[in-house]
Amino acid sequence: MKDAVQTAVVGVTGYAGAELARLLLRHPRLKKSPPIFAGRIDEKDAARGGVPLIEIHPHLADNNGAGQLKLQPFSWELLAESGVDVLFLATPHEQSREWAPEALKRGLRVIDLSGAWRLTDTANRAVYAFKDADATVAEATQAQAVYGLPELHRAEIAGAKLVANPGCYATSVILPLRPLVAAGVVDLGSGVIADSKSGVSGAGKAPTAKTHYMYAADNLSAYGVFSHRHTGELLEQIGLDANQIVFTPHLLPIPRGILSTIYVRFDTPQTRESVAQTYRHFFAGSPMVRLYDATLPQIQYSVRTNYADIGFQMSADGRRAVIVSCLDNLLKGASGQAVQNLNVMLGWGEAEGLE
């Protein structure tokens, strides 16, 4: 990798794309090389050289030149001429499925924020119903993908050509559950319940009947019961089968943030200190995880940060625990995690540009 790293973002118009642009523009290692922003634009905007970034996201205006940047018509030639090293795809799953193989072929490293490459098991991946033009190329690309949760796969991410950024719900459940399951203390026969609630931005920028104000405001609704596409990530990354966990997402009438409440039963009685020690050991060296002691996390503590907050309470007999996990779905659940992966890939401090 060159000393001066050039990044590019495709998909800057969405919520996650906006946060990604903000983080990259202010990253201390990238001040001399702002991202290239590319995407589909109409002929009129192409004729004027693209759409000024601050027309799309006025809040990104600053005194460091962001006002001069434009969303340009996407082409592989543009990326080559600009000397792009790392390509962020904040694109729909199907688009990432098509473009990631071509990017790898052209020597780019890719961080994909979609669900295109997160799942290794074909049965789990079926929820996306991908229709690949070349199944052989798709499988070869999938074999190169590393699941982009640094707290689990830091070493693999460092050498990866393709990082599949995790889902937001998945991150909020995997992080609190994986340490306990890996330690062998969870009674999986009794099952695990993960009850998760997310702000409306998790559904993306395109309005739908279920996400507009009149439906979401003053309301709380469950959806994707037994069918949410992040379930496969939980199974693969925690090491569970489908009969061992019930994951239910809910739409919370707030702009952003996730709170997951997770219910577990232990094989043998545990103490508060033994569970806390399991977490401390697992997350040693993980700067983006905060472990709570006396209190439980709340969305307001983690929103607009890249932290995943984890806390728990024990039953009096030590056989059960209620774990609460909070994060910002647009940051640790999407763009902040993507930048965290960039830092790991390039050998930079994992929390650079994120604290």
pTM of the model: 0.96
For the chain, strand residue ranges (E) read 7-10, 36-39, 51-52, 70-73, 86-89, 109-112, 145-147, 162-164, 192-198, 221-222, 245-251, 258-265, 289-291, 308-314, 320-327
- Encode burial over 294-317: b for 16+ CB neighbours within 10 A, e otherwise: eebbebebbbebbbbbbbbebeee
Question: In CATH, what number is assigned to the domain containing residue 130?
Answer: 3.40.50.720
Is there a single domain that holds both residue 30 and residue 144? yes
Residue 1 lies in a domain: no
The per-residue DSSP string of 229-256 comes to TTHHHHIIIII--GGGEEEEEEE-SSSS
- The residue range of the domain holding 268 is 168-327
Residue 83 lies in a domain: yes
Q: Residue 232 falls within a domain, yes or no?
A: yes
Read off the amino acid at residue 40: R
Contact between 87 and 10 (Cβ < 8 Å)? yes
pLDDT at 67: 80
Instruction: Report the domain count for the chain.
Output: 2
Same domain (yes/no): 204, 131: no
Question: What pLDDT is attached to residue 2?
Answer: 61
- CATH number of the structural domain spanning residue 217: 3.30.360.10
**Residue 3 — pLDDT band, cuts 50, 70, 90?**
low
- Spatial separation of the C-alpha atoms in residues 137 and 143, rounded to whole Å: 10
pLDDT, tens digit (0-9, with 9 covering 90-100), for 108-138: 999 999 999 999 999 999 999 999 999 999 9
207 belongs to a structural domain:
yes
Instruction: Check: CB of residue 317 under 8 Å from CB of residue 268.
Output: no
**Res 1 pLDDT > 60:** no
User: Is 149 domain-assigned?
Assistant: yes
pLDDT band at 204 (very low <50, low <70, confident <90, very high): confident
Question: Contact, 165 vs 149, CB < 8 A?
Answer: no
Do 145 and 172 belong to one domain? no
pLDDT in tens, 287-300: 999 999 989 999 99
Residues 160 and 178 in one domain: no
Cα–Cα distance measured from residue 110 to residue 87, given in angstroms and rounded to the nearest whole number: 5
Is 350 inside a domain boundary?
no
Q: Name the phi and psi angles at 131, rounded to 5.
A: -120, 90
Which sequence positions are flagged as catalytic?
Answer: 168
| Per-residue pLDDT, 253 | 95
Percentage, residues of the chain above pLDDT 70: 99
Q: Can you tell me the distance from the alpha carbon of 332 to that of 330, in angstroms, rounded to the nearest whole number? A: 7
| Mean local confidence (pLDDT), 70-88 | 97
Q: What is the mean pLDDT of residues 239-247?
A: 97
Is residue 77 located within the same domain as residue 173? no
Helix-helix angle 272-282:168-182, to 10 degrees: 120
- Judged by DSSP in three states, 186 sits in strand
Lowest mean pLDDT segment, chosen from 78-87, 165-174, 214-223: 214-223
Same structural domain, 188 and 56: no
Q: How far apart are CA 113 and CA 96, in angstroms?
A: 9
Q: What pLDDT is attached to residue 316?
A: 97
Of 187, 186, 180, 5, the closest CA to residue 87 belongs to 5
pLDDT averaged over every residue in the chain: 95
The encoded tokens of residue 72 equal: 């340009």
Q: Do 119 and 142 sit in the same domain of this protein? A: yes
Answer yes or no: do 246 and 187 share one domain. yes
Q: Name the residue among 310, 303, 314, 307 with its Cα closest to residue 325.
A: 310
- DSSP code string of 309-346: EEEEEE-TTSSEEEEEEEE-TTTTTTHHHHHHHHHHHT
Residues 174 and 140 in one domain: no
Do residue 33 and residue 156 come from a single domain? yes
Is 354 contained in some domain?
A: no
pLDDT score of 213 more than 60: yes
Same domain as 188, residue 143: no
In a domain, 355, yes or no: no
So what's the pLDDT on residue 46? 87
Gap between the Cα atoms of 25 and 269, Å rounded: 49
Q: Per-residue confidence at 64, pLDDT binned at 50, 70, 90?
A: low
Q: How do residues 299-355 score in pLDDT, each as one tens digit?
A: 999 999 999 999 999 999 999 999 999 999 999 999 999 999 999 999 999 999 998
117 and 38, same structural domain?
Answer: yes
